[in-house]
Amino acid sequence: MKAMSKPPYFKVNHPMTEAAPIRVQSLDHVTIVVKDLAATRRFYVEALGMDEVARPNFSFAGQWFQAGATLIHTILEFEGSGPAGLGGGANTRGHHFAFLVEDAHEAARRIEALGIPFVSPPKQRPDGAVQIFLHDPDGHLVELCSVANAP
C-alpha cells in the first residue's frame, strides 16, 4: 500500500496577508480522556480547588471543571474516544497544560501533604516564575506555576 503524502500546511504560494488573521480570544477548554471519573474529580476539585460545573447531556460520560476562565473537559474512556492519559513520564518538556496559581511553593506543600508525587518539585525559571509538575490520576502532565515576585 502506497503511503499518502501529507498535504501542505498552507496553500503553496498563498499570500497570508490577503485576509485578516483569525483573532484567538483565549483558551476556552482543554479536553482529557480519563479512566476514573471519581479519581479525576478528587484531583481537580479537592487537590487543585477547581469547581465542578454543569455539563451538557452528551451521549458519553464525563465532567467539566472550571479553572478561572478556562474549562477542563473530561471524557470517560470508551471505544469512541482516544485512550486515557498521555504517558508523559518524567519529561517536563513534553505535552502538558499549566495552571497559574498564586504561590507555587504553597501549592507544592499542599500537593505533598496530599501524597501526590512530583514529577518535578518547585524550581525557578530564568524569568523568576516558579513551576512544579505532577501527574493527574491518568498520567496527564500538569504544571502549576506562579509568576515572579515584583522587585
Residue 61 is placed in which grid cell?
A: 460520560
Length of the chain as a residue count: 151
pTM of the prediction?
0.80
What's the confidence (pLDDT) of residue 149?
Answer: 74
In DSSP terms, 146 is beta-bridged to 130
Q: 59-110: per-residue pLDDT in tens?
A: 999 999 999 999 999 999 999 998 998 766 677 877 889 999 999 999 999 9
Q: Residue 94 contacts by C-beta under 8 Å, 6 or more apart in sequence?
A: 86, 88, 141
What's the confidence (pLDDT) of residue 29?
Answer: 93
What's the confidence (pLDDT) of residue 136?
Answer: 94
Q: 28-46: per-residue pLDDT in tens?
A: 899 999 999 999 999 999 9
**Domains of the chain, start order:** 29-146 (3.10.180.10)
